[in-house]
Amino acid sequence: MQSAAVGLPDAPDEPDSEAVVDLVLRGMWRGRPESEHRPLVDAGLAMVKGPVVLPTERAKAAAARILRVPAGSEQEERITAAYEAFLPVNRKIRDVCTAWQCRPDGSANDHSDDTYDAEVRESLEDVHEAIQPVLRRLERVLAGSGRYLTALAEALDRFDDGEPAWLASPLCDSYHTVWMRLHQELLLVLGISRAVDEALEEELVTRSRG
Amino acid sequence: MSVADREAGPLAPSGAPLAPSEAPGRVLVPYGQGRIRGLDAEELGAHGAAMDRLVALGLPVVPGLTVPAGVSASLCEPDTAEAAVVLVEQLSGRRIGDRGRPLLLRLSASAPTEIAGLPPDLACLGLTPGNADELCAVIGRAEALYEVWAATLRMTAEYALDVPGSVLDDALLDTPEPRARVEALLSLAARHGSRPVPDDPAQQLALAARALLARWDSPRARRSRRAQRLPADLPLALHVQALRIGPAGRSGYGTAVSRDPETGRLSPRGFFFRGVRRSAPPPHTGEPLDRLAGGTALLEHSLLTLERHLRAPVSVDFEVRDDEISLLAASAQLRPPLRTAVCLAADLARDGALGREEAVRRITPGQVQELLHPQLRLTGGEDLLVTGLPASPGAATGVVVLSSERALEVAADGTRVVLVAAETTPADVPGMLASVAVLTGSGGIASHAAVVARGAGKPAVCGAEGLRVDLAAGTVRFGERVVREGDPVSLDGRTGAVYAGALSVSVAGPPPELSTLLEWADGTRRLGVRVNADTAGEVDTALALGAEGVGLCRTEHQFLGERLPLIRRVLLAADPAARDAALLELERAQHEDFRALLAAVGDRPVTVRLLDAPLHEFLPAPGHAPDAAEEQRAAALREANPMLGLRGVRLALLHERLYPAQAEALFTAWADVAATGVRPRLEVMIPLVSLPEELAAAAAYVRGAADAVAARTGVEVPYRLGTMIETPRAALLAGELAEHAEFFSFGTNDLTQLTYGFSRDDVERQVLASYQERGFLTASPFARLDPHGVGALVALAAERARSVRPGIKLGVCGEHGGDPESIAFCDDLGLDYVSCSAHRVPVARMAAAHSALRQRQDEERHHESGSAR
């Protein structure tokens, strides 16, 4: 299962497929030592822009190739099932982050209303409850995906410990940051475009409303 | 209500104490009867108390009852549950199982106050596999009913029948369709549960009550109480409500608020849904209120009645049955939208329901600031590219970049960039962080891009339809329009509008109701509010925002731009003739500036500070002087520490014609303006003084200039002469300085730098953030006046100055003049005015009013405690 899931690199010229995938899923690296990104830069897979390292188009294509599971395989079918269960929750987490940042009237949430914030926290618990069975299933068919549940739980803990940035800040491995990464991996694993993804999410959410 | 009254007699004599040992029916309190039984929110829960209030106000409510906190567990007993079913049937005039006028029950919980983390409502009690199809036929649709039912079964199975949660999770993942879910859950309960799900409504209700209370006792609910600092054993009241089923076309439920959040005006806003009520209505799917077939008159009446009663904007949940409305819940909006809060305060005060001071007290200075958010200045001739969804508030202008990579490259030298992307992936995050704003073609206000933009505090417009990015060509198309990477655009994250070109960003004017409240605030405050403004245009803006005059007019800009060569010639001139010629030209240019400024000021006070810029701002860059001799003279004038060098009065004493020329230009301009009938109250201010002798010498220049103008024009210009207090020595020698000065203006920016020995540009980046993290400082001393050090110097100077010149006018003209806490500090010291930048003027007016109200309150309290003793 291990080998099938990760899909070992089929292009021997790539220095470190794990690193390429990590960089693409994260979108950038900050504060990494040069020894880590130098091989990628030399191979044309990464570029250094000031303090950040970005993936090149080539790296994005490579990551897509490395992660993609065989089309029509049973594995693809099972991951697709988990992905379709993921999508309605994906809508919810964005609503939760939005509610944390903005009050319903669109004004910024200044976090002076404890009850409102506690309501948002409740809906975050709902999301976390809903995503756990999905991720447990995913882990059985996509090796390594268990790390997402660990990272989400870590972010939730930090958030509960009074560090609000760990819900939606783009500057740390917040709940939303980890979630975005998970979403991106699913899309690359299944070879699904953003446009198809959005349409499917809308359809699944609408269907569940009856 | 009449039904409820009829039931009250036999069921519950008023004031009867509650005890579980009583007859089953006695612990049941119909909506509206709590108060006459001596119960309040502690027993009835917030919901029960709110329903009591609605009944008392004569408003229509849904039939239902409360099982008070403390005895709510008795609803788990079959007898009590049976009595509750019978009572709700009586109250609603319907029966469960009746095909013509069907009824189901809904169980909910509430705590004494509005809290988060209550167990979800359990609806559709009374539904069975045998009667579900009939009900679906009545409603005309099936999905919603089965969905609500499945949610109730899921909770009941886990928390009352002990079916493991993971078994239920797996079943639900495998069965997305609601009807199949109900079947799966019923069979799981039969197989794994302590008993099957019963058909009898009373038994279902008893199980549901057990499930709610067990859920309230779960680790998750306990965590939630801890997070809200609520008692671990907080008791819940339970509520059993009638859920009257009817055709979807004429039945449903909805929610409404009393005021339009955009304008704040009284006008019900909300939406409703047809069909069976669900726990959490899906957002953005309801129909607007004006589609209610029975009209909104009763809803409007209910909202208005409640608003007057609660003196707050209100929100209600309502049920629609046969086109008639009855209320499910009602509450004051705890955190109404700002416009709503402002309009309500003004409305209530105009109606006499609230004093004007109380109305002013309701709106904080911070809220004033938020209402006056920066926005694009529109003149009507803008080139609108596209309108998307307003995803993250704020206005910004910058050049288009189409990738993270370009964003980082272009922004590296400080260029403001706007990242434009068709869709956003994690790869766009670094670009978003480097940009001043974000524009995307897809996604909504809850898209990843929007979440990231708000998380980073960047304005964003998302879902701009018709946006097409062509990376290869380096262009983005908006329909027919093509914009190239590098072209400027402007966007407003509050309206979703995107314009071509760089528009100016400025502060919005106050809405009319806020202007009214600010006028009342003006009537309340003692402290004056002036503006720091350098040009006639800035003065106009500030006066419109309520400034009483100009507290600081800096004259440095009069020497920059195209006049830089003139002042350079003054400073570097090889011979006196060249210098005098340049001076004369400068004087003429300044005269024009001053005349425009004074005309804009009108009869108000205006404080003009004579030249204060550090010398280096006027010198050519090394190697850029026109000839070797001038290069040499410039080199001789360069300083190691320009901010502490030849600045302000020091420069004026070295170049003795500078201040007389400025003062003559000013006085001549005053004489010109006075001829048109306005008389600005002129205050001439000498900067960066630390020796009384400096002030005396500079004062002599100004007096000389006034005499010269009087001799030339015949006009004796009235003016006051004063000084900035911006060095610690000036503050300490305030008594001596007051002998030469009729007013002081505390320049708290420099005074803070010099008191701490901080160079602002350096410490803000390196030191202050770390000090705030360590808890050394709670706020930057440049944003909030340091009351212990810098503030103590201000207090001491005020005291010493007044001892020499009791009526001396005292003001503050640093940025602190716009900070509410610093304003309160200045008010407490009895200073005469604060002066701040134009966009902070409304904030300062409100802050000064709040400070005065607080002082009054403190005095009253002091007086009361004094008389009590």
**Taking CB atoms and an 8 Å limit, are A195 and B442 in contact across chains?**
yes
Least Cα separation, residue A4 to chain B (angstroms)? 24
Residue the block writes with tokens 């004062």: B699
**Whole-angstrom distance, CA of residue B717 vs CA of residue B699:** 15
3-state secondary structure (DSSP) of residue B573: coil
- What is the average pLDDT across B204-227? 94
Collect the ranges in chain A with pLDDT lower than 70.
1-15, 105-106, 208-210
**Whole-angstrom distance, CA of residue A27 vs CA of residue A171:** 12
Least Cα separation, residue A154 to chain B (angstroms)? 16
Q: Which CATH topology does B555-719 take?
A: TIM Barrel (3.20.20)
Most A CBs within 10 Å: which of B148, B333, B448, as the mutation test of the A interface? Answer: B448
The residue among B766 and B622 whose pLDDT is bigger is B622
For chain B positions 293-312, those within 8 Å of chain A (CB to CB) are none
> Which of the four pLDDT bands, split at 50, 70 and 90, describes residue B284?
low
Domain B2-128+199-244, classified CATH 3.40.630.30, yes or no: no
CB atoms within 10 A of CB B35: 16
Domain end point (choices A14, A32, A67): A67
Domain B252-336, classified CATH 3.30.950.10, yes or no: no
Q: Do A78 and A34 share a structural domain?
A: no
Per-residue model confidence as pLDDT tens digits over B777-815: 988 999 999 999 999 999 999 999 999 999 999 999 988
Listing DSSP states for B223-234 in one string gives: HHHHHTT--TT-
| Bridge partner list, B477 | B468, B482
Domain end point (choices A41, A67, A93): A67
| Closest CA relative to residue B808, chosen from B751, B864, B737, B747 | B737
Looking at chain A, the whole-number percentage of residues with pLDDT higher than 70 is 90
Any CB–CB contact under 8 A between B205 and chain A? no
Least Cα separation, residue B687 to chain A (angstroms)? 40
What tokens appear for B412 in the block? 């590296």
Q: Do A174 and A107 share a structural domain?
A: yes
**Whole-angstrom distance, CA of residue B694 vs CA of residue A58:** 69
Residues of B with active-site annotation: 448, 813
Find, in chain B, the residue whose alpha carbon is nearest to that of A182: B426
Residue the block writes with tokens 């003062």: B663
Any CB–CB contact under 8 A between B460 and chain A? no
Q: Do A89 and A55 share a structural domain?
A: no
Q: Which pLDDT does position B773 carry in this prediction?
A: 80
Chain B residues closer than 8 Å to A195 by CB: 423, 442
Q: Do A21 and A103 share a structural domain?
A: no
Q: Which pLDDT does position B621 carry in this prediction?
A: 85
Q: Do A25 and A125 share a structural domain?
A: no
**Taking CB atoms and an 8 Å limit, are A209 and B285 in contact across chains?**
yes
CB atoms within 10 A of CB B342: 26
Q: Is the pLDDT of residue B75 over 80?
A: yes
**Taking CB atoms and an 8 Å limit, are A50 and B454 in contact across chains?**
no
Phi and psi (nearest 5°) for A197? -60, -50
Q: Which pLDDT does position B8 carry in this prediction?
A: 37
Q: Is the pLDDT of residue B742 over 60?
A: yes
**Whole-angstrom distance, CA of residue B368 vs CA of residue B346:** 14
Q: Which pLDDT does position B868 carry in this prediction?
A: 55
Residue the block writes with tokens 């003004």: B346
**Taking CB atoms and an 8 Å limit, are B115 and A27 in contact across chains?**
no
Contact of A162 with A156, CB cutoff 8 Å: no
**Whole-angstrom distance, CA of residue B248 vs CA of residue B246:** 6
Half-sphere exposure of A137 (CA within 13 A, CB side): 23
**Taking CB atoms and an 8 Å limit, are B426 and A47 in contact across chains?**
no
Q: Which domain holds residue A41?
A: 2-67
- What is the average pLDDT across B188-201? 95
Q: Do A42 and A80 share a structural domain?
A: no
Q: Do A122 and A200 share a structural domain?
A: yes
Q: Which pLDDT does position B187 carry in this prediction?
A: 96
Sign of CA dihedral B68, B255, B314, B300: negative
Phi and psi (nearest 5°) for B669? -60, -40
Per-residue model confidence as pLDDT tens digits over B469-490: 998 999 999 988 999 999 999 9
Q: Do A137 and A95 share a structural domain?
A: yes
Q: Which pLDDT does position B524 carry in this prediction?
A: 96
ipTM over 0.90: no
Q: Which pLDDT does position B680 carry in this prediction?
A: 97
What tokens appear for B860 in the block? 């009253």
Per-residue model confidence as pLDDT tens digits over A69-112: 999 999 999 999 999 999 999 999 998 998 998 877 667 787 87
Q: Do A136 and A52 share a structural domain?
A: no
**Whole-angstrom distance, CA of residue B570 vs CA of residue B588:** 14
Q: Which pLDDT does position A2 carry in this prediction?
A: 39
What tokens appear for B672 in the block? 């010109």
Strands B314-321 and B324-332: antiparallel
For chain B positions 532-591, those within 8 Å of chain A (CB to CB) are none
**CATH number of the domain encompassing residue A28:** 1.10.10
**Whole-angstrom distance, CA of residue B592 vs CA of residue B609:** 17
Least Cα separation, residue B455 to chain A (angstroms)? 5
Chain A residues closer than 8 Å to B220 by CB: 125
Amino acid symbol at A144: G
Least Cα separation, residue A25 to chain B (angstroms)? 7
Nearest to A180 among B170, B224, B448 (CB): B448
Binding residues of B for substrate: 554, 609, 726, 747-750
Find, in chain B, the residue whose alpha carbon is nearest to that of A51: B408
Find, in chain A, the residue whose alpha carbon is nearest to that of B389: A106
Most A CBs within 10 Å: which of B451, B471, B494, as the mutation test of the A interface? Answer: B451
Looking at chain B, the whole-number percentage of residues with pLDDT higher than 90 is 61
**Whole-angstrom distance, CA of residue B682 vs CA of residue B529:** 16
Total domains in chain A come to 2
Any CB–CB contact under 8 A between B338 and chain A? yes
Per-residue model confidence as pLDDT tens digits over B490-522: 999 888 999 999 998 877 778 889 999 999 999
Per-residue model confidence as pLDDT tens digits over B52-61: 999 999 999 9
Amino acid symbol at B38: G
How many residue pairs bridge chain A and chain B with CB atoms within 8 Å of each other? 149
**Whole-angstrom distance, CA of residue B698 vs CA of residue B648:** 10
| Bridge partner list, B461 | B390, B439
Give residue limits of the domains in chain B. Answer: 2-128+199-244, 252-336, 374-507, 555-719
Least Cα separation, residue B227 to chain A (angstroms)? 7
Task: Give B866's contacts (C-beta < 8 A, 6+ positions apart).
Answer: none
**Whole-angstrom distance, CA of residue B149 vs CA of residue B341:** 39
Chain A residues closer than 8 Å to B426 by CB: 24-28, 180-181, 184
Chain B residues closer than 8 Å to A121 by CB: 116-117, 224, 227
**Whole-angstrom distance, CA of residue B440 vs CA of residue B446:** 13
| Closest CA relative to residue B44, chosen from B70, B27, B59, B66 | B66
Amino acid symbol at B669: A
Q: Which pLDDT does position B282 carry in this prediction?
A: 57
Q: What is the 3-state secondary structure (H, E, C) of B51-110?
A: HHHHHHCCCCECCEEEECCCCHHHHHCHHHHHHHHHHHHHHHCCCCCCCCCCEEEEEEEE
Per-residue model confidence as pLDDT tens digits over B393-409: 889 999 999 998 899 88
Sign of CA dihedral B7, B11, B13, B18: negative
Per-residue model confidence as pLDDT tens digits over B628-685: 888 888 888 888 888 889 999 999 998 889 999 999 999 999 999 999 999 999 999 9
Amino acid symbol at B206: A
**Whole-angstrom distance, CA of residue B29 vs CA of residue B41:** 13
Find, in chain A, the residue whose alpha carbon is nearest to that of B229: A114
Q: What is the 3-state secondary structure (H, E, C) of A122-133?
A: HHHHHHHHHHHH
Q: Do A94 and A127 share a structural domain?
A: yes
Q: Do A128 and A63 share a structural domain?
A: no
Per-residue model confidence as pLDDT tens digits over B826-860: 999 999 999 998 889 999 999 999 999 999 999 99
Q: Do A99 and A201 share a structural domain?
A: yes
- Name the H helices within B126-234: 132-139, 143-159, 165-174, 178-192, 201-216, 219-227
Q: Which pLDDT does position B18 carry in this prediction?
A: 46
Chain B residues closer than 8 Å to A113 by CB: 334-335
Phi and psi (nearest 5°) for B124? 65, 30
Half-sphere exposure of B434 (CA within 13 A, CB side): 30
Nearest to B114 among A24, A115, A198 (CB): A115
| Closest CA relative to residue A70, chosen from A7, A19, A22 | A7
Contact of B544 with B605, CB cutoff 8 Å: no
Contact of B324 with B252, CB cutoff 8 Å: no
- Mean pLDDT of chain B, nearest integer: 90
> Which of the four pLDDT bands, split at 50, 70 and 90, describes residue B283?
low
**Whole-angstrom distance, CA of residue B817 vs CA of residue B832:** 12
**Least confident among A101-110, A112-121, B266-275, B288-297:** A101-110
DSSP B495: T
Q: Is the pLDDT of residue B63 over 90?
A: yes
Which CATH number applies to B374-507? 3.50.30.10
Domain end point (choices A38, A67, A96): A67
Chain B residues closer than 8 Å to A134 by CB: 173
Chain A residues closer than 8 Å to B178 by CB: 210
For chain B positions 172-201, those within 8 Å of chain A (CB to CB) are 173, 176, 178
CA dihedral B251→B254→B260→B261, nearest 10 degrees, is -160
